[in-house]
Amino acid sequence: MTIRDRVIEIIAQQAMLDAADVRDEATLADLGIDSLGLVESIFAIEEAFDVSVPFNANEPDAGDFDISSVAAIIRAVEGLVAGNGAAPA
Amino acid sequence: MRRVAITGAGTINALGHDVASTLAAMREGRCGIGPLDIRDVDRLSVQIGAQVKGYDEAAHFNRQQIALCDRFTQFALLSAREAVAQAGLTFDEALGLRSGAILGTSGGGLNTQDENYRAVYEEGKNRVHPFIVPRLMNNAATSHVSMEWGLRGPSFTVSTACASSNHAMGLAFQMIRAGGADVMLTGGSEAMLCFGGIKAWEGLRVMSRDACRPFSANRNGMVQGEGAAVFVFEEWEHARARGADILAEVAGFAMSADAADIVMPQAAGAERAITGALADAGMAPHEVGYINAHGTGTAANDKTECAAVSHVFGAHADRLMLSSTKSMHGHLIGGTGAVELLACIMALRDGVIAPTIGYEEPDPECALDVVPNTAREAQVSVALTNAFAFGGLNAVLALRRA
């Protein structure tokens, strides 16, 4: 499974949608994912790819991890995996 | 109606091991937050907290007491000893029957749980110390306080996350006012600064990794603290009759539930608790000079709290002072409201308003007088203290100068 497919699967599961209905340009708000859902999705991404996502719910737009759309999240995860941003043991 | 006096106060927290040193630190705007000194801290992404430093349990408790008392219970007992000594009360048989203890905590004996889960899961041990349950239970602190002074009346523990202490003190107030007791030891205690206690909070992604900056536009989350504060609440005439020094009057209390979201606070619920406390105390909003804010330093709490205060007080919101002392002593979770009540007593009794330290940038969504960075002298006759817990459970106390 590609990174893209896995991220979409995680988001779809959180949004309770079919993966086919998660469009690239959609925002998390479009998909009905609230702040708790976002934090849970990020945890799922960290677990799936063994990376550490720099995300603080107090400043969701700060940092390098772009969550503005599904496509942006996929790119950000690809970047983390390529950079081998391994989670602390 | 029976009135309620505060006749004793005690504390131990990151700012000091007693009330005098804690209030001195608040006056100076000193920060008790620093690098955490706990086991496995290198595996945490949040490595700061407001820890009680220089604490030696053997200096205060014997071997048998230490075997039975988790850190949160020790903190409660030390605070209660200071409070009872200040009140100058002797709990004889008759008074003991008319006295009780209501304390708040969220994690209870979390260090005990953490250490013993580690022993059985990580180290593979199959035997634990026989006193684990009496050490870790959330009511352990209340029970030990009741035992130390022979308090035989209404006694229980309240656990409503970050509002635990305010709920506990509010219920103690109501208990005396309604005639169920004449003296109550009340407040709260927390000792959550262990690996598991911080790791769990990390998961929620609301913690700051550098500082607690309530109401500041660049705030980035809360910082955990630990410690306790305990007060002697006493029926007014009982206190007057024995010539006790009354620190302040507890005049009103209200609680509310948002019934909306498990973590996101709602202004409407906070407003109902604030207006309820004022109504319960028979106070007009314009009488309020100081509010000790819940002020956690999270994006969500601080703007919601300011919206609630603005809405309740209208134009007067711009005249009152609102500060968050969590910037100094951290967020003691179930013990926080108790330590924060000290700031209210200092405002009423000493005319000193504790500051919100770490304040760097104004936030248009928190455009109130947050007493930034430096304590202020001001005469205040009425103070409120807010607590708005995860789970949407709110508790506000109203105090009047004695």
pLDDT digits (tens, 9 = 90+) for B81-103: 999 999 999 999 999 999 999 99
Is residue A27 domain-resident?
yes
Same domain, B217 and B293: no
- The CA distance from B61 to B64, in Å, is 8
B298 vs A: CB within 8 A = yes
The enclosing domain of A53 has a CATH number of 1.10.1200.10
| Count of domains for chain A | 1
Q: Given a cut of 70, is residue A88 above it in pLDDT?
A: no
- CB interface of B with A, residues 30-59, below 8 Å: 43, 45
> Which amino acid would we find at residue B359?
Y
User: Do B91 and B151 contact (CB within 8 A), yes or no?
Assistant: yes
ipTM above 0.85, yes or no: no
**Is pLDDT of A87 > 50?**
no
Task: Inspect the interface and report whether the beta carbons of A36 and B263 lie closer than 8 Å.
Answer: yes
Interatomic CA distance for residues A83 and A53, integer angstroms: 12
B53 in a domain, yes or no? yes
- Residues of chain A in contact with residue B45, where contact means CB-CB under 8 angstroms, are 52, 88
**Percent share of chain B, pLDDT over 90:** 100
- Note if B344 is an active site residue: no
Are residue B50 and residue B81 in the same domain, yes or no?
Answer: yes
pLDDT at A89 over 50: no
From the list B31, B162, B194, B344, the catalytic residue is B162
Supply the DSSP string of B259-325, one letter for each residue: -S-SSS--HHHHHHHHHHHHHHHT--GGG--EEE----S-HHHHHHHHHHHHHHHGGGGGTSEEE-T
What average pLDDT does range B99-112 have in this prediction? 98
pLDDT for residue A84: 58
Query: Is residue B17, in this structure, part of any structural domain at all?
Result: yes
> Of B214, B241, B268, which residue constitutes the final position of a domain?
B241
**Residues B209 and B276 both lie in one domain:** no
Same domain, B269 and B291: yes
In a domain, B26, yes or no: yes
Chain A / chain B CB contacts < 8 angstroms: 37
Asked whether the beta carbons of residue A58 and residue B204 sit closer than 8 angstroms, the reply is no
Residues on chain B touching A52 (C-beta within 8 angstroms): 45
Condensed to tens digits (0 to 9), the pLDDT of residues B370-402 reads 999 999 999 999 999 999 999 999 999 999 999
Q: Are residues B236 and B266 in the same domain?
A: no
Q: For B15-60, what is each residue's pLDDT tens digit? A: 999 999 999 999 999 999 999 999 999 999 999 999 999 999 999 9
Compare CB distances from B205 to A55, A62, A89 and report the shortest one's residue.
Answer: A55
Q: A39 lies in a domain?
A: yes
Q: Taking CB atoms and an 8 Å limit, are B220 and A55 in contact across chains?
A: no
Of A42, A55, A58, the CB nearest to B299: A58
Residue A88 in any domain: the answer is no
Of B43, B220, B300, the CB nearest to A56: B220
**Chain B residues lying within 8 Å of A59, measured CB to CB:** 220, 299
In a domain, A62, yes or no: yes
DSSP string for residues in B67-120: HH--HHHHHHHHHHHHHHHHHT----HHHHHTEEEEEE-SSSSHHHHHHHHIII
B167 labelled catalytic: no
* Tens of pLDDT, residues A29-54: 999 999 899 999 999 999 999 999 98
- Same structural domain for residues B225 and B259? no
User: Which structural domain range is residue A74 located in?
Assistant: 3-82
Q: Is residue B40 part of a domain?
A: yes
Give a yes or no: residue B330 inside a domain. yes
- CATH code for the domain in which residue B322 is found: 3.40.47.10
Q: Which residue of B has its CA nearest to A34?
A: B264
Structure tokens at B311: 């809405």
Q: Provide residues of A within 8 Å CB-CB of chain B.
A: 35-36, 39, 42-43, 52, 55-59, 62, 88-89
Q: Are residues B44 and B62 in the same domain?
A: yes
Query: What secondary structure letter does DSSP report for B59?
Result: G
Residue B294 catalytic? yes
Residues B304 and B202 in one domain: no
CB-CB under 8 Å, B220 with A59 = yes
Q: Which of B196, B218, B241 is the last residue of a domain?
A: B241
Residues B228 and B332 in one domain: no
Same domain, B36 and B80: yes
**pLDDT digit string, tens, across residues B317-367:** 999 999 999 999 999 999 999 999 999 999 999 999 999 999 999 999 999
pLDDT digits (tens, 9 = 90+) for B263-311: 999 999 999 999 999 999 999 999 999 999 999 999 999 999 999 999 9
Say which of B43, B205, B221 has its CB closest to residue A39.
Answer: B205
Q: Is residue B246 part of a domain?
A: no
Query: Which residue range(s) make up the domain with B105?
Result: 4-241
Instruction: Give A-chain residues touching B195 at CB under 8 angstroms.
Output: none
Q: Can you tell me the distance from the alpha carbon of B301 to that of B214, in angstroms, rounded to the nearest whole number?
A: 9
Q: CB distance from B200 to chain A under 8 Å?
A: no
Residues B328 and B378 in one domain: yes
Q: Which of A33, A46, A58, A65 to mutate to test the interface with B (most CBs of B within 10 A)?
A: A58
Mean pLDDT of B241-270: 97
**CA distances, B138 to each of A72, B120, B189, B367 (Å):** 45, 21, 10, 38
Domain stop point among B205, B221, B241 = B241
Using pLDDT thresholds of 50, 70 and 90, give the confidence band for residue A61. Answer: confident
B106 and B209 within one domain: yes
Largest CA distance in chain B: 63
pLDDT value at position A62? 79
